[in-house]
Amino acid sequence: MKTLKRRQFLNLAASALALPAIIRSARADTYPSRPIHLIVGFPPGGTADILARLTGSMIQERLGQPIVVENRPGAGSTIGTADVAKAKPDGYTLLMAGTGAMAISPTLYKTLPYDPQRDFVPVALIAKNPFVLVINPSLPVHSVPELIAYAKDHPLTYGSGGIGSPHQLFAEMFKTMTGVNMTHVPYKGTAPALTDLMAGHISLLFADIAPTLPLVAAGKIRALGETSAAPLPSAPDIPPLREAGVPGFDAAGWGMVVAPARTPEAVIAKLYEAFRTVLADDTVRAKMITLGMVPQSSPPPARLPDFIAAERARWSQVVKDAGLAGTE
């Protein structure tokens, strides 16, 4: 009798230990059963926002639930990123993360309200985003060499999407590689920085291409070069900076969907498959290219931490060369 009771107790204990896994599996099987919130750490109108809305509209068709894009700007996307780090790990709160939040800020700041490696699990790499160097048309320059020469005799200011954003780091790379001096003016995203650039409140900006090209076409700002090594199909008349006067310049931001750490693996797998399918769609890829993005065929989630680590090492050197490490 005692042996039987002991066996029953052990069976009950084993069932209790297995219960959380069973519950997680059941939740993954029914996921998603309500709207998913995709957080963007920048204001509407920038590349991260455009990318979230473009892919979100397609993903919701695959998952059968609305994708609600929420903009939570501030501190170079730190505010929105920290919010997602603290969110419940159930797959219903995701982040359109970028170079700044995942690779630059950790090397720039002494402390952050989140840890990219500890607090997140990658879902899918969506696109790489070259930037374009644009100036206010009132500046009497029409090429990168003319800008460099002009900057040696005139004080210039450059805008950014916030301290630690790719906009700032691209500008700092430009300063280091050309020897020019410029004063940094941070904003909460690309859109407000572009507004002030058009108004003449700042001299230049390394800007997301998607919201910038229409303004260039309208003559409201002037483009001098783009940051990637190869010409952009969406703007072949804008030369790569490495060919326009800054040899060796090659950089791009990127957008990646991540979820809070401890999100069930089955949920991550379902999300990844949905994004992988959407990113293979020719119509989606063509739209991204038109907007100046470089669509990616994302590696599986398990391989993305290596990509983030390599990017972090690369930008850490840029931060060090610019003398920006250790910002409070």
The domain ranges of the chain are: 28-129+253-321, 131-244
* Topology match between the domains 28-129+253-321 and 131-244: yes
Answer yes or no: is pLDDT of 159 > 60: yes
pLDDT at 26: 43
DSSP string across 156-200: EEEEESSTTSHHHHHHHHHHHHH---EEEEE-SSHHHHHHHHHHT
Distance of alpha carbon 89 from alpha carbon 26, whole angstroms? 15
The stretch 189-195 carries a mean pLDDT of 91
pTM above 0.85, yes or no: no
Give the pLDDT band (50/70/90) at residue 186.
very high
Q: Angle 265-279/2-30 helices, nearest 10 degrees?
A: 20
Protein fold of 28-129+253-321? D-Maltodextrin-Binding Protein; domain 2 (3.40.190)
The stretch 182-201 carries a mean pLDDT of 94
DSSP run (H or E) holding 283: helix 282-290
CB atoms within 10 A of CB 27: 16
Structure tokens at 178: 């050309």
**CATH number, domain 131-244:** 3.40.190.10
DSSP assignment letter at 223: E
Name the least confident of 103-112, 238-247, 295-304: 103-112
Kindly report the average pLDDT of the chain as a whole number: 90
pLDDT at 249: 95
Query: pLDDT, tens digit, for every residue of 89-138?
Result: 999 999 999 998 999 989 888 889 999 999 999 999 999 999 999 999 99
pLDDT at 8: 62
Question: HSE on the CB side for 86, CA within 13 Å?
Answer: 8
Give the pLDDT band (50/70/90) at residue 25.
very low
Distance of alpha carbon 311 from alpha carbon 145, whole angstroms? 29
144 Cβ neighbours under 8 A, 6+ residues apart: 133, 224, 225, 241, 244, 245, 246
Distance of alpha carbon 148 from alpha carbon 154, whole angstroms? 10
